[in-house]
Structure formats: C-alpha cells, structure tokens
A and B are shown apart, each in its own frame.
Chain A
Amino acid sequence: MTATEELLQIERVTKVFTVGSFFFKTRINAVENVSFGIKPAEIFTLAGESGCGKSTIAKIILGFEEKTAGEIVFENESIAHWREKRQLFIQKVQAVFQNPFESFNPLCAVDDIFFETVYNFHLVQNEKEAIPFIDERLKAVGLSFSEIHSRYPSELSGGQLQRASIARALLTNPSLLVADEPVSMVDASLRMSIVNLFARLREEMNLSVLYITHDLATAYYVSDRIAVMFRGNIVEMGPVEEVLLNPRHPYTQLLRDSIPEANPHRKWKGSVRVANVEEEEYLQKGCKFAGRCSLAEERCRVDFPQETLVDGVLVRCHRYN
C-alpha cells in the first residue's frame, strides 16, 4: 500500500445483496466498483436519490456490512487491519445518523451514552472530570450539559438531539465523521446550523466529514468535493462548484434542476421521475440511467460507460468518451 495524502481511500468497492424470495433470488450490486478518497479536513459529499447505495457505503466504512470486493484504506492501513483494533478505529471514525429521535435509546437518559463513551475510551478518570469534558463538546454544538442531563430523548427537540448526537460523536476527537443524511429529518432553519457546524468543526478540529445527503443545496454550500451516485455507481465526481454549477452527467443535471428554490417543504425527490422498478434499473446492462435519460442512445443500453476525466471532473457517460 503506497502512502497517500488521503485520510480514507475507497478502492473499487462492490457490495452485492441477494434480494427476493427463495425461488426468485436476484443479486443486485448495491455498490459497484466505487472509488473515492477523502482528504484530511475535507468535507466530501455523497449524493444521490433514495436507494442508490449511499448508506451501504457508510455501513461498509463503519464495519456494519462486509464488502463483497474492493479495498478500504484508512490512515494508510487496510480496513482489515483495523478490525483487530476496532476500538481505536471507532475512536477515529465516528458516525451520525439520519433520525435524531431514533439515535438515542428511548429508555436511557441522553447523557448516558456520553458518559459511556468517555469512560469506554478512557478519556477521563472520573465523573468530576467527565462533566466539564462533555460540557465542552456540547458547547461546541451550541448545547450544554445541563440541557441534556437526566433528560430522555422524548423530552428534547429534534434539533437538540441531532446536535447532541454530533457532540457525542466528537467526544473521542475523531478524524472522520460519517454523517448519513444528518439533516433530512430536521427542519430547514436547523439544517443550515448543522451544516455550518460541520464547516466550523473542520476548521477547528481538522475534522473530515463524509456528508451523505440528497439535499444538494447544503451539499453545495458546505462541501469541497461531491460524488453523485446512481444505482450503485458514481456517475460524476469532482469539486462541488464544477459538478453542481456545470453538471456534465444527465443525471446530475436532472438532480440539480429539481432542487426546489426557497421552498423547503417541497422535496426534490418528488419532481424526479421516479424509478419504475428500482431493482430493474440495478440489473440493467448498459448505463443504468439510460431508461430515464432523455439523451440515451443505442450504445447506452448495451455498453456500460467508463469513467472519463473532463476538466478535473470524473464523468461516467458515453457522451464524454
């Protein structure tokens, strides 16, 4: 393994799921030959519609799913090696999930898992040290210890909970935060404050963020680079301005055009032509977007397009070959 400047390197990772009942099993490549890297102190967005394999990538990175093929390198060490020092890996790679109301055990006070974390990773010696330590991280996200102390998840708001879940993830001083749709369940005003928080944490703590979302507006606002996924493949990847202001792949264009302007209640998902059958698209032979693409030609339905570098942006489309 050659040393790279990347903090996390995903190399040709594939994940095959077997779906369907006993007699009608099909194998879908939920993630197919995906490669990307995240640099230290970089915010990297993984975007795409529902069911395109974003969460699967997050789960593979976090070690919740086994990859079928490929390699993941974190801090120049294969993820296979990290499995033997799982606790250290967790300390460096933390995660935030979509639904803040479901991120905390409804039967435990919210501060429980904070104490659990600081003791588990031996960050403090006793409760006397723990409280200021926890309070400091909570302050970083705009909360305080007294706000969550002995409170149950049902007694806090979604915004408070989501910020608390980020604060909890920051306790171990991670170098990478995997945030799987961290803003899709909170309302528009809070969205910005959470995204701003990522930007600030990157400045202050050198934190890298894998920001998984289908909210292109916040992605554009906060991230350095973006990868757009469609049915398990990255169809376009590059600097966020290039990709979103000047999209090359027809799917990225479709995504960008369907961003609703100044109407937080309309989801962009609604205006995209919905996939007739998700599975069907996954199993399609050529370009998986061909069925929905207005520019599709004969070869799009037959040949799988290769990646091409166009002005620093990777595009997977026959029009650029």
Chain B
Amino acid sequence: MSFVKKCLVPRLIQYFLVTFLGLTTAFFLPRFLPLDPVEQRIAQYQAFGVYIPPEQLEEIMNTLRQLYGLQGTLWEQYGIFWRRLFMGDFGPSLARYPTPVIQLIVQSIPWTIGLLLLTTLFAWVVAILMGGVAGYFRNRWTEILDGIVMVMRPIPYYIMALLCLIVFAYIFPIFPLSGGVGIGREVSFGFDTIVSIVKHGALPALTLLVVGIAWQFQSMKLIVQGVRSESYVWYARAGGVRERKIIFHYVIRNAMLPMITQLGLQLGTIFSGALVTEMVFAYPGVGWILYDAVMKGDYNLIMGIMCISVVAVTTSILFLDLVYPIFDPRVRYR
C-alpha cells in the first residue's frame, strides 16, 4: 500500500509527464526549424534535374504535405500525431516510399537490440568483476591490467573499430567485412542463420565490448578504491567480519549502486542505435537507418526513431527508479 502510494504513483505520474513532454518536443522541434521539408524536397528534385511543371507544383506540394503530416493548423497536426502514435503509425518512409516507417524500424530494431543489449550487459558484468578485483586488490597483475586499460581508453572508438576491421576482416579474413543478414530478408531460425548472425555481429560486438569494458572498468575500480577505505569497512574488519563478506557485502555491493544507475541510463540509449559501430561495420541497425534518414531528409523516419528513443529512455529510467530501492535501503519509501 505504502509502496503504491509513496513510490509507484508519483513515479508513474512523473513518467507519463516526461514521456508526454519528450514526444511533444519530438513533434514540435522539426516544425520550428526554419527549413520547410516540402520546399526542401522540391528543391532536391529540381537539383537532380527533375522538371516540375508549374501547374503541377501545387499538387505535388499538397501530396508531400499529406505525406509529412503537415496539413492543417499546428494543433490539427498535433492531434493527428497522437492519434497515429497510439496506432504505431509514423506514416510512410519518404526515402523508401511507401514502406511504412514502423516496418523499417521493426526490421532493424532486433539487430540493434541483439547487438547492444548483449554487449552492454556483458561489458557491464565483466567490468564490474574486473574493476572490483582491480580496485580491491592492488598487486602486479591488477597494475598491468590498469595500465593496459589506461593506454586503450583514449583511442577514439572509430579508430579502434577500423583497426579491428582491418586486422580481423582484411588481413586475417576471419570475419566478414560488412553487413548482417540482409535487411528485409525473412529471418528463419536455422543453424545457418545463427552462424551468420554470430559471424556478422562478432566484430561490432567485440569493439563495443572492449570500449564498454574499458571505461566501466575504470569507474568501477575508482569507486571500489573509494569504498574500500570507508570507515565502515575498517570497522567491520576490526570487528572480525570475514574478508569474503567484506568484499561482497561491503565493498562490491556499495560500489554497485552507481554502476546500476549507469547501466539503466545506458539501456535507455540502446534504441537509438550505435551509429558509428553500425556505420563502420555496415551493420543493419537503428543507427544505420537513422543516419540514412538524416541524409535523405526522411522526416517521418527521423520522428519515428526519435519517439521510440524518448519512450525507451523514460521507460528505462522508470524501471531504474522502481528497482533501485531493492539495492539501496536509503531511498525506500521516501
């Protein structure tokens, strides 16, 4: 009862409010841009040398407006936006007319989630274990590990991704140079498909893991070093609490709290894809179609991805807020 009243209800209200505001922003932002997508489109056609007879111009513009959902007043558009949103309809893709935006997103989202969810979770777990050990025990091996990470950290991600690509796909062609199982192809769950997915996903996953582990390793290590010298750790040790219990119940557990927050925030950003990874490895995820959409001025697709990202981020924050009290008694029933 008190959980529902004090915790769940305020959080839910906050959740719906923030989501509403986020989606509203996603709607208004493009409309306040000084660019008129319709005119831009026409200019694009003309730049490609398409001749548009003046008497047809008005008609074409009207059709385009309809496609973009730009008919009527702003408020009418806003109403239509919500109505369509609830049905998961973001209109047709403009670049790949008439494929619905939602279909493009649904096609690429499993790839993105498959890659990012797995690598994010795995990197998080590994980083916590490694960072925990390196922060708690100081010896030659952890110093070496620390040194390696310290050297690797400043390497820009795209350079590392390209290096991986050159080494593992070009010099030693273990993995394919690009692509997942082609976009739009029916995915059948056979052995071959799985092998193909693993083969195509291995390199992007590897680079994401290395980067993800490296930076989270460093934060976990620093946090553990801080917690290790906290007064309550000394008090427990002076009281004869066993070392194993101190490591897990006192140090790792307390150090986990900021890491849990970090994970929650990361999970929210999964749905907007990993642009650079997908670009370098030509991996058919959300980041890729978003990039494509931006380049081609595919407003409907951009808005579709924006809306899904907004909902994903707010939902993961809600989830985080609700599970966090399990780990931290101090915020229970506040």
Which A residues are within 8 Å of any B CB, using their own CB?
62, 64, 87, 90-91, 94-95, 97-99, 102-109, 113, 116-117, 120-121, 152, 154, 165, 168-169, 172, 178
Contacts and interface: CB of A to CB of B under 8 A. Distances in A.
B238 A95 contact: yes
A286 B260 CA distance: 55
25 contacts: A87-B240, A94-B238, A97-B231, A97-B238, A98-B231, A103-B231, A103-B235, A104-B232, A104-B235, A105-B249, A106-B330, A107-B253, A107-B257, A107-B329, A108-B249, A108-B250, A109-B329, A116-B236, A116-B241, A117-B240, A120-B240, A120-B242, A152-B330, A169-B239, A172-B240
Given A106-B254, A106-B330, A113 B231 contact: no
B164 to A, nearest CB: 36
Contact of B232 (A91, A103, A116): A103
B269 to A, nearest CB: 27
A102 B231 contact: yes
A87 B243 CA distance: 12
A152 B234 CA distance: 18
Interface in B226-270: 230-232, 234-242, 245, 249-250, 253-254, 257
A107 B327 contact: yes
A175 to B, nearest CB: 15
A97 B245 CA distance: 20
List 3 tightest A-B contacts by C-beta distance, closest first.
A102-B231, A95-B238, A90-B240
Contacts of A103: 231-232, 235
Nearest to A95: B238
Most buried by B among A64, A99, A102: A102
B328 interface: yes
A113 B237 CA distance: 11
Contact of B236 (A98, A105, A178): A105
A121 B241 CA distance: 10
A113 B234 contact: no
Contacts of B328: 107
Contacts of A120: 240-242
A90 B231 contact: no
Given A117-B241, A120-B242, 11 more contacts: A64-B238, A91-B240, A95-B235, A102-B232, A103-B232, A104-B232, A107-B257, A108-B249, A108-B250, A113-B241, A116-B236
Contacts of B230: 102
B230 to A, nearest CB: 7
B124 to A, nearest CB: 19
A64 B233 CA distance: 12
Contacts of A90: 238-240
